[in-house]
Structure 1
Amino acid sequence: MARMTAERLAKAREQEKTISAEDLAKVKGLAESMAKPIRSFIFKTPDEEGMTYESLSIQSDDGTALEAWYIPAKEKSDKLVIFNHALPMCRAGFPGHFGMPWAGFDAVEIDFIIQYKHLTDAGYNVLTYDFRNHGNSASANGGIAGIGNFEWRDCVGVKKWVDAHPELSKMKVALYSQCLGADSQYRAMLERPELFENVQCMVNPLVVNMPFIFDAFSELYGINQYQELIDLELIKLGGFTAEECQAANWAHAVKVPTFIMQVKNDEWTRQPDDGMKTFNALVNAPEKEIFWLDSTKRFRDGYNWFGREPKMVLDFLAKYMG
């Protein structure tokens, strides 16, 4: 399949000739922010919330070294949640409260550690990891984010590691996969379906289809007429076009009960179109639910939702994990 149609490529080339220097800088900046995300750092660890943990290095399916934590449940348990993160975050969350450069993306703290606390207190062991090019994990693919097109291999590598582990392989498994993590997990289920046959259920906060993200951001920056040129800039960087980075492209491979959460009136995506495109594409999920968070207009607040209001997620997990 062509990366861009001949018509769209011709339009992008014409846009290159007529765009102002100011708008071109915005186009290039938007493309680079997605294709080459800033690295978040580990600004908090599980012991700060009273949890014990083990630091691990796990190989992705292509050999990329992924840094991870295993956090045992408060009491002995046979239940495991594999937890991953969004772009440009890490397993600790997002350090926007530390100022630049992270505050340039958003000046907010997103805390995943308290979410692990909710899970371990509720009887779940947690395995969480940094994607390639994020946190403390190794660089790969020239540092380019694939929005699932590369990172699915990380989901596969982690699951293979679990399946080979003498204790974790015997546990019931659920997935908590958000944003970039959800896109990657869907693609992993498409590429290696046999690995995920024993997954009990999956939670997907803020799963995304990138055309909606680029439409919203480019409108914010006043460059909405340059979607074709944005795609061309992504290709030049070694990344993927917006159409190639969609959870809905791979959602048919999901065959487990799935809970999606979206921010109803968020300012960073087009809702309900984005969320419903994914939800409707989950045609093989035996059960599916979608929850619309309407207490905020900020997409990024959705990442802290489970930390602040854990009941709905815990009830969903308990329904399928026993």
Structure 2
Amino acid sequence: MNDEQSTRLIQEVANGFRLQPRAPILGTPTDENLEYENVTFPSEDGVPLEAWFIPRNGSDKLIIVNHPRYFNRYGFPSHIEPWRSMFAAGGNDFEVNLIPDYRILYEAGYNVLTYDLRNFGHSGDGNGSLCTGGIFESRDVVGSILYARTRHDLKGMTIGLFSRCLGCNATIHAVARRPEVFTGARCLVGAQPVSSRVILERILELAGVPSSRFGDLDRAVRLVTSFRLNEMSPTNAAKKVTVPTFLYQVHDDVLTRPSDVQTMFDNIPIKDKDLFWIMGTTRRWDGYTYFSKNPIKMLAWFEKYMS
């Protein structure tokens, strides 16, 4: 890739932080024969968030679920265009349907609240539609917990968190910023949190952009978002996590580096933590579908801390 092409790609990547395509919601819990309510609640800063609440009769336990960047509470339609082309180069060209996850949680005895982060799905626009790697999105995590604690039929429930990618970044940032909100939250299962710098540099590297241009990416992103890439990373925020945390990640994910999640895990300052590597694939999407196929470890974590 020549210098002009590199400059164009770097600017396109940076512009993507404010021009995020919304994916359609192509399913509902009805697809898994689950009864549900369409609900809405405000983020910490007032952005309206759209959600599904899936009740489990007789249960006093609630799992609050969010999603990766570009996804929504349904998942991501990467089996059809234009969403397929976004990540096909990494082999991530198949549908990720998260709705079966809710069936698994329901059958394990949990109520489920799953919401669209700001600027995705049907939730409202916030902060000029910017993606900030979890900084502003952390307000949505806070809003979801406050909703659960103030809704009359949920406020006495035991809460666990199931957060993925950008949603996990947001949860880590939220714990660091508003620790008092998480008092009583029993545990976190986190799928594939990621530092924006790492994933973007890998994308540029795969496209043939020389590493000498990576500093230009940081500057371009700052001009769009006002944040440096390192500010968006949950790595430092992980040092303030006090919730028992189980992280899992595709070890050979072509879009990241193992050292990124390993550093986040190492920075979590408590003993009640675990890190599970998914082996035998390079596709990031296999990390998002792993729970629906192999939920035992994650369910065991919830059971351990929510009993």
TM-score (norm 1): 0.90
* Alignment match, 1:117: 103
Deviates further, 208-217 or 137-146? 208-217
- Specify which of 9, 15, 24 is matched with residue 41 of structure 1: 24
Deviates further, 105-114 or 297-306? 105-114
CA offsets 1:53-92 (integer angstroms, 9 cap, x no match): 000111011110100110112x420010000011010000
CA offsets 1:196-224 (integer angstroms, 9 cap, x no match): 01011100010112222122111111223
SS of corresponding position for 1:31: helix
One-letter amino acid matched to 1:153? R
Query: Is the contact made by 2:193 and 2:261 (CA closer than 8 Å) also made in structure 1?
Result: yes
Query: Is the contact made by 2:23 and 2:83 (CA closer than 8 Å) also made in structure 1?
Result: no
- Specify which of 145, 165, 169 is matched with residue 159 of structure 1: 145
- Specify which of 272, 275, 296 is matched with residue 287 of structure 1: 272
- Specify which of 308, 313, 316 is matched with residue 293 of structure 2: 308
Provide the aligned length of Structure 1 versus Structure 2. 301
SS of corresponding position for 1:70: strand
Query: Is the contact made by 2:17 and 2:224 (CA closer than 8 Å) also made in structure 1?
Result: no
* Alignment match, 1:60: 43
Query: Is the contact made by 1:145 and 1:239 (CA closer than 8 Å) also made in structure 2?
Result: no
Bigger Cα Rg: 1
- How far off its partner does 1:295 sit? 2.6
CA offsets 1:216-262 (integer angstroms, 9 cap, x no match): 11111122321111111112222532211111121122111110001
Identity within the alignment, %: 35
SS of corresponding position for 1:208: coil
Query: Is the contact made by 1:151 and 1:184 (CA closer than 8 Å) also made in structure 2?
Result: yes
* Alignment match, 1:15: none
* Alignment match, 1:5: none
Query: Is the contact made by 2:77 and 2:83 (CA closer than 8 Å) also made in structure 1?
Result: no
One-letter amino acid matched to 2:136? F
- How far off its partner does 1:296 sit? 1.2
- Specify which of 176, 180, 191 is matched with residue 194 of structure 1: 180
CA gap 1:138/1:102 in 2 versus in 1, 3 angstroms = farther
Whole-Å separation in 2 of the counterparts to 1:102 and 1:58 = 31
One-letter amino acid matched to 2:260? D
- 1:226-245 pair list within 5 angstroms: 226-238=213-225, 240-245=227-232
SS of corresponding position for 2:46: coil
* Alignment match, 1:84: 66
- Specify which of 212, 229, 235 is matched with residue 225 of structure 1: 212
CA offsets 1:3-50 (integer angstroms, 9 cap, x no match): xxxxxxxxxxxxxxxx83211111112223345322112111000110
* Mapped pair 1:173 → 2:159: yes
- How far off its partner does 1:99 sit? 1.8
Whole-Å separation in 2 of the counterparts to 1:263 and 1:237 = 30
One-letter amino acid matched to 2:292? G
Structure 2: where are the runs of 5+ without partners? none
Give me the CA root mean square deviation.
1.4
CA gap 1:239/1:222 in 2 versus in 1, 3 angstroms = farther
Query: Is the contact made by 1:35 and 1:234 (CA closer than 8 Å) also made in structure 2?
Result: no
- Specify which of 251, 256, 262 is matched with residue 269 of structure 1: 256
Query: Is the contact made by 2:17 and 2:225 (CA closer than 8 Å) also made in structure 1?
Result: no
Query: Is the contact made by 2:252 and 2:281 (CA closer than 8 Å) also made in structure 1?
Result: yes
- Specify which of 109, 112, 120 is matched with residue 126 of structure 1: 112
SS of corresponding position for 2:114: strand
- Specify which of 37, 54, 74 is matched with residue 71 of structure 1: 54
Deviates further, 191-200 or 29-38? 29-38
* Mapped pair 1:29 → 2:12: yes
One-letter amino acid matched to 1:150? F
Query: Is the contact made by 1:209 and 1:248 (CA closer than 8 Å) also made in structure 2?
Result: yes
Whole-Å separation in 2 of the counterparts to 1:261 and 1:118 = 18
- Specify which of 180, 184, 189 is matched with residue 170 of structure 2: 184
Structure 1: where are the runs of 5+ without partners? 1-18
